[in-house]
Structure 1
Amino acid sequence: MEAVPSRCLFLLFLVTCELSPDITAEIQESSDGPRASQGPVWLTDVPSAMEFIAAAEVAVIGFFQDLEIPAVSIFHSMVQKFQDVSFGMSNDSEVWAHYNVTGNTISLFRLVDNKQLDLESEDTESIDATKLSRFIEINSLHLVTEYNPVTVIGLFNSMIQIHLLLIMNKASPEYEESILRYQKAAKLFQGKILFILVDSGVKENGKVISFFKLKASQLPALAIYQTLDDEWDTLTMAEVSVEHVKNFCDGFLEGKRPRENHESEDKTPKVEL
């Protein structure tokens, strides 16, 4: 397919990659883990709710009038499952009004793009643990979100149309320092660019790497992609630094494309993988 509607090429490429049993187990394992027994934070007024949301990269709030409905206990179980998400609850009328809630609702708030995602009241009433878990998994975007076939859905549901991928092996000795620098750079572009980590050590991620015409010998590398018009560019580097990431992003935002026309480099029709 030579001509693909805007933002569809990369999305088609990613979501048509099947979710293998190994990846499913990996996602499940990453979500589970030991956590002190605790419940959601009780939010009694608008200032406390605003402070709660502002302090978390991802916050999930249960707006429940009736604390006896099954959804409440299911909501409590999510606190143990998701280690990097903050959970709160509120039945205060002013808090509900502030967030445009009119009935039992579960809402997810993302710092990365200041977005509020709501489950409809009827969905909340009939929610089960699997559906709520998937709602949170799909939509939990952080300053740096690790790519997998679940998070990719949430990435393309974001209004932010420019995505930056750090493609790097998480098992490499340089990973810990590199990801800290990458996270620091992500704060500089909050609301403008979604920062993503692609673990090159995961076999299935080879399709993402090949999409950007990169080889293992060129990693770590950055790949930047604009979903609106399928424009993209890459930068290979010996070391991940805040300066390298910032300069690369600034150049793309300013319209500087060292490799302006990728299709001129490869005239072969693109195919779905």
Structure 2
Amino acid sequence: MEAAQSRHLFLLFLLTCGLALDIAAEIEGSSDGPGAAWGPMRLTDVPAAMEFITAVEVAVIGFFQDLEIPAVSVFHRVVKKFHDVSFGISTDSEVLAHFNITGNAISLFRLVDKEQLDLEGETIESIDDIKLSRFIEINSLHLVTEYNPVTVIGLFNSKIKIHLLLMMNKASPEYEESMRRYQKAAKLFQGKILFILVDSHIKANEKVISFFKLKMSQLPALAIYQTLDDEWDTLPIEEVSVEHVQSFCDGFLKGKLLRENHESEEKTPKVEL
């Protein structure tokens, strides 16, 4: 009963922190990225499409049998809103068949969990800029995904059910180097653990931090959470290193919880020698 209540509370915290989803979904990305400069890449055969997908963390491909449908215009407009997503377009019948596309579709591919998410059928017929933008924003998971009220939906919809959160202030002098190391560690657990960044400088994120019984004075810290059984653990760290992250994740995967040791130490009366 407590586990179920814990998970409900955690989801509530995640879904209520920061901007409302409807507002966040309408925020346009930078217009100075690759999409704005060159538009979607034309993918004329299966090898080109496969290479395109595996070369980036998030790829969105428009698979169209008919380039005159309204969805094509929507696709081209939305390309300009995202600077960290690669866009491609294909009308080749062999490419569509390879990806099990039987009509017109827009598909998002994630390197982090090898997912292919499709918009097709009636959804494509009624697609507009806001709906397509929301689909991409919600589902764009990277090796390290920054937590916000939009990305949290995609995180919990991922087939990877263990999430590692790095809670630290993005404005701190150590941030850039810490992120470099954190991303390096993320590659070691690709397909097993989703790596997330929680910016402790954002007021709304204090709810996420408090859920894990952490104080601001203990940050930076790592928190790991398994969505299937609500198991979690924390590790305050002075420095983010690949070794610290790897050891913490390996321990959790083996069932070792540092939090239980801490709680046991707090409950055990200390005896003066």
Normalised TM-score (structure 2): 0.90
Residue 20 of structure 1: CA displacement? 4.7
Q: 1:183 to 1:263 in 2, by over 3 A?
A: same
Tell me the residue number matched to 1:269.
none
Residue 18 of structure 1: CA displacement? 6.4
1:58-115 Cα offsets, whole Å, 9 max, x none, are 0000001111111111111122110000100111111111111001000000000000
2:32 to 31, 34, 54: 34
8 Å contact from structure 2 (residues 18, 204) kept in 1: no
8 Å contact from structure 1 (residues 14, 208) kept in 2: yes
Tell me the residue number matched to 2:271.
none
Residue 33 of structure 1: CA displacement? 3.6
8 Å contact from structure 1 (residues 143, 186) kept in 2: yes
Moved more, 248-257 or 3-12: 3-12
Residues 1:197 and 2:227 are matched in the alignment: no
Deviating beyond 6 angstroms after TM superposition, the runs of 4 or more aligned structure 1 residues are 261-265
Q: 1:262 to 1:97 in 2, by over 3 A?
A: farther
Between the aligned partners of 2:165 and 2:254, the Cα distance in structure 1 is 18
1:234-265 Cα offsets, whole Å, 9 max, x none, are 00111100110001001101111122399999
Residue 37 of structure 1: CA displacement? 2.5
Q: Over aligned residues, Cα RMSD in angstroms?
A: 2.4
Tell me the residue number matched to 1:130.
130
Residues 1:167 and 2:167 are matched in the alignment: yes
Tell me the residue number matched to 1:270.
none
Between the aligned partners of 2:151 and 2:91, the Cα distance in structure 1 is 30
8 Å contact from structure 2 (residues 15, 152) kept in 1: yes
8 Å contact from structure 1 (residues 163, 194) kept in 2: yes
Matched-pair identity in %: 77
Q: 1:237 to 1:261 in 2, by over 3 A?
A: closer
Tell me the residue number matched to 1:60.
60
Tell me the residue number matched to 1:271.
none
1:18-54 Cα offsets, whole Å, 9 max, x none, are 6359x9469826x224235221011111111000000
8 Å contact from structure 1 (residues 165, 197) kept in 2: yes
Normalised TM-score (structure 1): 0.90
8 Å contact from structure 2 (residues 185, 242) kept in 1: yes
Tell me the residue number matched to 1:251.
251
8 Å contact from structure 1 (residues 6, 229) kept in 2: no
Tell me the residue number matched to 2:94.
94
8 Å contact from structure 1 (residues 167, 200) kept in 2: yes
Structure 1 segment 9-20 matched on structure 2, within 5 A: 9-17=9-17, 19-20=19-20
Q: 1:264 to 1:159 in 2, by over 3 A?
A: farther
8 Å contact from structure 2 (residues 26, 130) kept in 1: no
SS of corresponding position for 1:89: strand
Q: Which runs of 5+ in 1 are unaligned?
A: 266-273
SS of corresponding position for 1:217: helix
Tell me the residue number matched to 1:230.
230
How many pairs were matched up? Answer: 264
Q: Greater Rg, structure 1 or structure 2?
A: 2
Between the aligned partners of 2:188 and 2:145, the Cα distance in structure 1 is 16
Structure 1 segment 138-153 matched on structure 2, within 5 A: 138-153=138-153
